[in-house]
């Protein structure tokens, strides 16, 4: 991270309450600092049945749904006054995909995430958020 002002925020969203808090925080920081806001979400393969995972049309449809949904987040950020907003959708394990693929691609100054994900008990802090906090090559802010 460069010294001083943050120029690029990356925020992970998944519709959980904590992710929405992280998103609202990221909007405020990006607006206040005149920074770019990059919003990401990941289509997780473990959310699909074996049959769905084998159906390329189904996966494509789910990805399109997620890409459309993430544009709603983009519109919300723009409406709140953030002027530079982009979105990225990944596929795979959320923590690994963000750390190993998305962060190297966008090179953010700060990753902002919620402490829980919306899916299942194993997703509570200790899995995805902990993975990203531990392995991210950039600074991580966990919002609760």
Could you tell me if 6 and 107 are in contact, meaning their C-beta atoms sit under 8 angstroms apart? no
Phi-psi region of 100 (alpha: psi -120 to 50; beta: other; left: phi over 0): alpha
- In angstroms, the CA 12 to CA 42 distance is 8
The three-class DSSP label of residue 107 is: coil
- In angstroms, the CA 31 to CA 66 distance is 25
- In angstroms, the CA 97 to CA 60 distance is 18
Residue 127, pLDDT score: 76
Question: Residue-wise pLDDT tens for the chain (144 aa)?
Answer: 445 689 999 999 988 889 999 999 999 999 999 999 999 999 876 665 555 655 666 666 687 889 999 999 999 999 999 999 999 999 888 999 999 999 999 999 999 999 875 554 444 444 788 899 999 999 999 998
**CA dihedral for 129, 2, 23, 75, sign (positive or negative):** negative
Give the domains, in start order, of the chain with CATH numbers: 8-143 (3.40.50.620)
Residue 63, pLDDT score: 79
- Contacting residues for 27 by C-beta, under 8 A, at least 6 apart: 37, 76, 77, 80, 82
- In angstroms, the CA 135 to CA 142 distance is 14
């Amino acid at each position: 991270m460069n010294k001083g002002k943050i120029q690029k925020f990356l925020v992970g969203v998944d519709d959980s309450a904590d992710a929405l808090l992280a998103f609202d925080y990221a909007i405020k920081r990006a607006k206040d600092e005149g920074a770019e806001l990059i919003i990401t979400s990941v289509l997780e393969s473990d959310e699909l049945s074996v049959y769905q995972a084998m159906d390329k049309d189904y996966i494509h449809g789910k990805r399109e749904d997620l890409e459309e949904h993430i544009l709603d987040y983009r519109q919300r950020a723009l409406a709140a006054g953030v002027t530079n907003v982009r979105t990225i959708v990944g596929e795979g394990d959320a923590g690994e995909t963000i750390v190993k693929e998305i962060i190297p691609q966008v090179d953010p100054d700060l990753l902002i995430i919620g402490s829980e994900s919306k899916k299942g008990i194993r997703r509570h802090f200790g899995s995805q958020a902990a993975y990203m906090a531990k392995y991210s090559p950039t600074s991580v802010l966990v919002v609760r």
